A and B are shown apart, each in its own frame.
Chain A
Amino acid sequence: MTEETKLIEEAKAGRGEAFGKLYDQYVASIYRFVLVRVSNRAEAEDLTQHVFLKAWQSIRRYREREGIPFTSWLYRIARNAVIDHYRTRRDHEDIEGAAARNLAEDFPVQEVEYTLQIEEVHRAFVVLTPGERDVILLRFMEELSVKEVAAILEKSEGTIRVMQHRGLKKLKGELGAGN
């Protein structure tokens, strides 16, 4: 039994300290995953808190034996939270609209560089489908394996490889055209 598995079992038993360690381990990844999509620091924090609150409250439903890694389970909750976020706020700008916003207003001066990078990613991602964006971000920003991405997006590993190939091809065409 791995250390993470022990923490999960303890968290299932209601031990907050164990879940706190899992939170510390994954909060930054989930925050980044959400931030790149909503492009708003306050909303990213709200959604990140919502993701871990839901994970804490429903961790007893998590079944490691079903083959879904805990990280993938968290990302799946985060992805659904972002989808619900845009679905319930239809007047809210989506990822394309977020690309045109000045993210620097949301971040401290020392993080402006990151905001510019996020804006650049958003501009490039306009050519991708939502699924392809998820695959590219999870594979290259979070450096997750194909298996983990497949578990998050609930698709086969073959499908993920195809989506990644198509997404990269589109990005190369888009970025190459920009030169």
Chain B
Amino acid sequence: MNTYNNFEERLRALRQIQPDKAFVGYAKARILATHQERFATPVVWGGALATVVFVAVVAVTLLTPALPVVRALDQQALHGELEGLGLDLQIEQVEYNQKVHDTITAALQEIEGETNHLNTELLESEDAFVDVEGLQETPSAEVDKLLEKLLQ
């Protein structure tokens, strides 16, 4: 008798083993009563992707126009621009004041010299063209004194 051949036959004979019918029915009912794992369907994935894209587009659209304004509000750039502007204005003001100062000084020196050729009426009419208030702001105290004297 070939024991090994018998062993193979016995292995095949085990195929006759069947589970208990009551167990088969009970287990089947319990298994099918449970829920399957939920996977996102392509429609759900598509919807989620569309939502993300929409939010991204809206965000970019809303933020893009504000970007130049934001750049213009850069504090360092603004500070630099203001400093340059103030310097230009000061230089122009100094040049203007210097011219006025020189002109008025020359005119007053002539008056001080008691020149007879100067017409008093003419001088008074020119006085109307002189911006006294502006001249008062000039740094020259000498000019101010001469003007006061002239007007008296």
Q: Which residues in A have some Cβ–Cβ distance to B below 8 Å?
A: 14, 16, 19-20, 23-24, 27-28, 31-32, 35-36, 41, 44-45, 48-49, 52-53, 56-60, 111, 114, 117-118, 120-121, 124, 136-137, 140-143, 171-172, 175-176, 178-179
Contact = CB atoms under 8 A, between A and B. Distances in A.
Contact of B12 (A56, A114, A143): A143
Interface string B2-46: 011001101111111111100110011011101111010000000
A52 B7 CA distance: 30
B14 A124 contact: no
Contacts of B28: 20, 23-24, 27, 52
Contact of B37 (A23, A49, A58, A178): A58
A134 to B, nearest CB: 13
A36 B7 contact: no
A60 B19 contact: no
A141 B15 contact: yes
A141 B14 CA distance: 6
B10 A28 contact: no
B37 A171 contact: no
B45 to A, nearest CB: 14
Nearest to B13: A117
Contacts of A142: 15
B27 A36 contact: no
Interface of B: 3-4, 7-8, 10-20, 23-24, 27-28, 30-32, 34-37, 39
A27 B17 contact: no
29 contacts: A14-B36, A20-B28, A20-B32, A24-B24, A24-B28, A28-B18, A28-B19, A31-B17, A32-B14, A36-B14, A41-B20, A44-B19, A49-B31, A52-B27, A53-B34, A57-B34, A60-B37, A60-B39, A114-B16, A117-B10, A117-B13, A117-B14, A121-B7, A121-B10, A136-B11, A137-B11, A141-B12, A172-B4, A175-B7
Contact of B3 (A16, A141, A176): A176
Contacts of A32: 14-15, 17
Nearest to B39: A60
A45 B14 contact: no
A13 B111 CA distance: 113
